[in-house]
A and B are shown apart, each in its own frame.
Chain A
Amino acid sequence: MKISFPHMGYSYIAFKWLVENMGHECIVPPEPSSRTLDLGVRYAPEFACIPFKILLGTYLEVVEMGAEVIISSGGMGPCRAGYYWVMHKYLLEEAGKDVKVVAFELPRSDIMDFWKKLRWLRKTGGISVKEFIRVFKTAWNKIMVIDDVEMRSHEIRPYEIHRGDTTRGLWTALDMIDKANTLQEIQEARVEGLRQLNQIEQDRSRKPLKIGIIGEIYVVLEPAANHYIQIMLGEMGVQTDRSIYLTSYARKNTIVNLEGDVFEVAKPYLNEAPIGGHGVNSIGETILYAKHGFDGVVQLAPFACIPEIVAKSIIPTVSKDYSIPVLTLFIDEQTGKAGVQTRLEAFVDLLESRREVRERHERLVI
């Protein structure tokens, strides 16, 4: 079968390998472009959030490329994302596209359904259970390693002397991971990728500002949706830390549930959890970033995202109490790169002058 899936950051490298090694043909989803968004906007309801529109656009593109099956995720609410696949199915049918949408619900909400779908994927691919487990484990390792090198790239970028070196280094590393086929090769790719990133010419005398990136998972994870905000900030000389990585998300939400901590932190401000998506997390993470000495926080959210609106209405109080500036960017199909850049530059300027004032005070005290 020709299988495709949503594009989410660099994870497609691992998913591509997974699909191919399960014995299927993989239609790699193209990176979301303005055409993707145009297609999505044309068929999606007006007030659907931007991830919905981008995914729909992606699905329409992969169907053009010949995809027969689209694999997606479900959810148990109350965020809209859990209902995406149903609506996407309706809309693809309405657009006359002949494609099967298979959504995996969280194993803890419907374990039977989860196993049945996995079994179907394995049988149609024609591999044994043992092989299937091996393939899964390897793919999971790939995602981990992809996240490892991406994290390192965000640490190094603000120090780079030649702009663009880190991004090029990241792609070299990702290419190596892409070509790796066994656990050992993946580990080698990781070591080599990190070594190359570390070797980039750096100016370690700089003192970069530290900004935490929080918000809704899709616009945080997909650089094409957030206008490469982390690369943009990195090249402005800012070190960024992202609250969500696919591996941390998967670890927290499916196998071990560690999210309780963030909820607990957010409790004085939002006495209810979860409220869907990453709404409560955004509040808790703002507090955590403040406690860890970050200079500021950028909240990313799709326009009309319900949980993030709740968070946004509470965050000003958190920001005041913990004295940490927060910039909220709501992203929709009208958002342009220049607009995002202008606002980020202003925000970074503000954080810099804030830091100067603080340091001057500290010097005076001494």
Chain B
Amino acid sequence: MAKIGIPRTLAYFLYYPLWKTFFEDLNHEIVISPPTTRAILDAGVKEAVNDACIPIKLYHGHVAYLADKADYIFCPRLVSVRKHGDFGTETFCPKFLGLPDMIRFGIDHLPEIIDTRVDLKKGKKELFNVFCEIGSQIGNTHEEIKRAFSKALKVQKQFDNLLYQEILPPEAMDIVFNHKPAQVSHDNCDLTIAIIGYPYVLYDSYINAGLIRLLEKENVKILTQDMLSDKTMNRQAKTLPKSLFWYFSNRAVYGGLHFMARPDVDGIIHVTAFACGPDSLVDRMVEIEARRRRGMPYLSIAVDEHTGEAGVRTRIEAFLDMLRYRRDKI
């Protein structure tokens, strides 16, 4: 049975349950890279093209870690997962589109890459074909794939439902895989903050310097765009002059706009990665809309390879102080 290497970054945070169940049901072994560390980040900075953004450098670091530990690197080419946008041309960021080729030509001595193209513009049914392709690349029969796929979908659905219950993805994964009981209590929370941004920046506690833990310690209830259903989010699409072209960016923007309209949300934090192309537009747009729509307090935090905990903490504390002061004054 093959060893499948999965980098713990980028789409991992939203789709890992699907992948894990699928491969394990086919009796393959999963080798997952550890949560980001300094060493992984350094390896990524070394391997990746120097102009790339931090998430892409991180991805290179995770892949480099897996290079001699797995038989395959699982790096699907994420093109699109739905037909959306003004011309129905929504895709992932161009760097996602070129990612398998970037690592193939960027990192030496890689095992075979599973770079199946994921393009679900034609409909959700396409997903099965994608998994058939993946399964046959690693030597499984159609019957096995079919069984594993339907099981994987079920687990992913369970995971998604946990997210909709306002549980953060890392905890939801714990619940799904380790059967820990859900224990979320917001009893002594006195503020609700919506964090928007890309899953690989929000839930990677190394790269964002433990932002979520920091907020939890400050008794803040956290909401993210991943806790919203597509239907809720897409309602916001009509309120913009034009949708963005990138899946994760649209989610962040729609999530931000949705939270602006919710009276229980006290403030919005946008976490963005250094040199992220789409975010240069997303950040300013959400900032402008936040002021225009409700005068919603808005904080933008940019993270890079040098982000320190103290820097993030200072800014978060100042933001929370301001929110509490503002609330008490009203």
Contact = CB atoms under 8 A, between A and B. Distances in A.
B51 A330 contact: yes
A299 to B, nearest CB: 11
A90 B277 CA distance: 18
Contacts of A313: 48-49, 52, 98, 102, 105-106
Given A272-B79, A279-B94, A303-B51, A45 B105 contact: no
B280 A83 contact: no
Contacts of A109: 86-87, 89
Contacts of B210: none
Interface stretch (A14-22, A34-42, A71-79, A184-192): A71-79
A86 interface: yes
Interface stretch (A201-209, A239-247, A304-312): A304-312
A317 interface: yes
Interface string B81-105: 0000111011111110110111001
B2 interface: no
B285 interface: yes
A194 to B, nearest CB: 39
Interface in A287-344: 303-307, 309-314, 316-317, 330
Contacts of B89: 76-78, 109
B284 interface: yes
Contacts of B297: none
Interface stretch (A46-54, A173-181, A228-236, A349-357): A46-54
B98 A310 contact: yes
Most A-side CB within 10 Å, residue of B77, B79, B106, B245:
B245
A87 B287 CA distance: 12
A272 B284 contact: no
B121 interface: no
B196 interface: no
A272 B80 CA distance: 12
Contact of A82 (B95, B98, B245, B280): B245
Given A83-B245, A269-B101, A78 B91 contact: yes
Give the most central of B95, B98, B275: most A CB within 10 Å: B98
B130 interface: no
A78 B49 contact: no
A110 to B, nearest CB: 7
Contacts of A23: none
Contacts of A309: 49, 51-52, 95
Interface string B104-127: 011000000001010000000000
Contact of A304 (B51, B86, B90, B284): B51
Interface in B31-62: 48-49, 51-53
B241 interface: yes
Contacts of B226: none
Contacts of B214: none
Contact of B95 (A94, A110, A269, A310): A310
A275 B277 contact: no
B11 interface: no
Contact of A47 (B92, B101, B276, B285): B276
B284 A270 contact: no
Interface in B1-53: 48-49, 51-53
A314 to B, nearest CB: 5
A76 B245 contact: yes
A152 interface: no
A276 interface: yes
B241 A78 contact: no
A29 B260 CA distance: 38
Contacts of A271: 77, 100-101, 115
Nearest to A308: B51
B280 A90 contact: no
A312 B98 CA distance: 11
A277 B94 CA distance: 9
Contacts of A121: none
Given A86-B242, A275-B94, A313-B49, A304 B277 contact: yes
Interface string B272-303: 00111111110111001000000000000000
A122 interface: no
A106 to B, nearest CB: 8
B201 interface: no
A81 to B, nearest CB: 10
Interface of A: 45-49, 74, 76-80, 82-83, 86-87, 89-91, 94, 105, 109-110, 269-272, 275-277, 279, 303-307, 309-314, 316-317, 330
Given A46-B280, A305-B277, A314-B98, 14 more contacts: A49-B277, A76-B89, A77-B91, A78-B91, A78-B246, A80-B281, A87-B281, A87-B284, A87-B285, A105-B87, A269-B101, A303-B51, A310-B101, A330-B51
24 contacts: A47-B277, A48-B280, A76-B87, A76-B89, A78-B92, A78-B97, A80-B281, A90-B285, A94-B288, A271-B101, A272-B98, A275-B98, A303-B51, A304-B275, A304-B277, A304-B280, A305-B277, A306-B93, A306-B277, A306-B278, A307-B94, A309-B95, A310-B94, A310-B95
